[in-house]
Structure 1
């Protein structure tokens, strides 16, 4: 096993999939858990379901983790078995606890899948490929295409290394974060400030309690649009749509109840629905559809 994969495996076995509360993992610090963002995040999760076949025998979750979000369960609802493939033993144990007999669990490397050609009628790989070394990321896409059944589709969700849309909003994000830091400083000095609610694993900003004290994340290497077109789309049929335009950093900085946050997210989602290709290319998180056409059999 390469040094990068060993690092990723150790991180998720020891830290990433450590539970902080019921169904809340250490890795959730990378998500905005505040109620104001939940509808938008839920709707983005559910976009995946539109682009995979609704029924089949075997569904592959490549880099499954513990299947930590309820929406993830819906993707394999119409399949006989969900095959969870992950490099982390801890992740697979948690996934088994969650889906039981519906699941088959395999310790596997996404760049070298131990399955025969065209084994799966549906595939998802969510926030996984960026944990591979750059020279293995193309191979991971090819492996997903290899095990995908004829005339079926798979979905990959990953983050771009750069988002033109978020770059436009960077001054606003920095200003909002500066203001929040000043407010937090005042609140820390105010002995009457409200205490955090215990037991839910997160604070009032939707962050995991003790986030600043958390260990650093593990290895990631994200690609950009040009890389995907040149290195992947030249080899296999792919389509780029939007999964989610904005990052957690944007949500935490800009989206707040008293500043019309709910209306902003409703508008953003409607724009994503109308222009999925534009926001897929220039937002933060593309939804990449892998096609396996009949003539490729």
Structure 2
């Protein structure tokens, strides 16, 4: 089973060793311990032959939750923290719906305005990252790729030989396989933790991450950034789409009491999730100053991805009441002053040069 052309780009997320296809002896050793469970026909093993990683449905399972220890040293998988576990559970339980021939998250309409006069602006935002990465290369790393839900997301990797989809959700990776196949785009699909990316240093010509970093625990977001920086080639860019939430001056001013309600509900939700152990999606947004202070690259810049959120568009953008003109005004501002709107708007593309 040749899921990936070059295994030398991979590393064991636990030991940082090379990983290679498991031979028949390793497969037999693993399968003999599975009792009545389905047997593995392919997998990977680290250089010291202490950890086995399954391959199934064209997915490389390089997440610690799916690893199988071959020695007592690695017999106890690290237990997830509550915040990490609820993110893992949320994305492995979420459902999908169809949109324009692609599979997207069932809850996408909470965050995306699909109305016909707003959709071109939204789709332009989906393509924004393309302006800040190299136009072509070999490996395009899509960290926390999800299902690669929209056609604009798929075409971000045009000009690259391989798109490496990395996500904690097996279902998302299966949907990503389907979505990429619709556009005949070659993909490598890896189930992995963005805090321990199973790729070697200086491998990727582009690294992108959409709407995922703020779902990592606040004290671990820098680890995730450093991992993305590590796998990028020198002189290339890492592009991270980030939600400023209450750091967005534009949304704070224009939404006023609605924004205050959002912030209050956000913190109440955090308390609710902890008290009742619910799989409510974790969220924490750092400020722009935090990113500047912790930048691991040569330089860091902030550009507009989408300046407004669904709350703003629901309140202010109405087709027959000047909504189209207001939207066009905002859109023009983003085009003319992308750095300003990236600082004050809701969503930014954070571009880190390695």
Residue pair 1:238, 1:289 contacting (<8 A) in 2 also: yes
The reply on whether 1:139 has 2:139 as its aligned counterpart is no
Cα distance in 2 for residues equivalent to 1:217 and 1:247: 20
1:74 is matched with which residue?
A: 155
Using the size of structure 1 for normalisation, the TM-score is: 0.79
Residues 45 and 24 of structure 1: CA distance in aligned 2, closer, same or farther (over 3 Å): closer
TM-superposed deviation, 1:4: 2.0
TM-superposed deviation, 1:110: 1.1
Cα distance in 2 for residues equivalent to 1:112 and 1:25: 25
Runs of 4+ in 1 over 6 A off after TM superposition: none
TM-superposed deviation, 1:237: 2.5
- Structure 2, gaps ≥5 residues long: 1-79, 260-277
TM-superposed deviation, 1:120: 0.3
Structure 1 counterpart SS, 2:138: strand
TM-superposed deviation, 1:20: 3.5
- Which stretch of the first structure deviates more once superposed, 92-101 or 67-76? 92-101
Residues 240 and 144 of structure 1: CA distance in aligned 2, closer, same or farther (over 3 Å): same
Cα distance in 1 for residues equivalent to 2:179 and 2:98: 15
The reply on whether 1:62 has 2:143 as its aligned counterpart is yes
Give the counterpart of 1:219 among 258, 276, 282: 282
Residue pair 1:173, 1:250 contacting (<8 A) in 2 also: no
Residue pair 1:242, 1:285 contacting (<8 A) in 2 also: yes
Cα distance in 2 for residues equivalent to 1:154 and 1:223: 17
TM-superposed deviation, 1:21: 4.0
Give the counterpart of 1:106 among 190, 195, 218: 190
2:49 is matched with which residue?
A: none
Residue pair 2:86, 2:279 contacting (<8 A) in 1 also: no
Residue pair 2:226, 2:296 contacting (<8 A) in 1 also: no
1:207 is matched with which residue?
A: none
TM-superposed deviation, 1:107: 1.0
2:323 is matched with which residue?
A: 261
Decide which structure has greater helix share: 1
TM-superposed deviation, 1:9: 1.6
The 5 Å alignment of 1:124-163 reads 124-162=208-246, 163=248
Cα distance in 2 for residues equivalent to 1:51 and 1:234: 17
2:274 is matched with which residue?
A: none
Larger Rg: 2
Cα distance in 2 for residues equivalent to 1:24 and 1:108: 20
- Structure 1, gaps ≥5 residues long: 175-214, 293-297
Relative CO higher for 1 or 2, CA cutoff 8 Å, sep ≥ 6?
1
The CA RMSD measured in Å over matched residues stands at 1.9
Work out the number of aligned pairs and report it.
249
TM-superposed deviation, 1:236: 5.2
Structure 2 counterpart SS, 1:35: coil
1:286 is matched with which residue?
A: 348
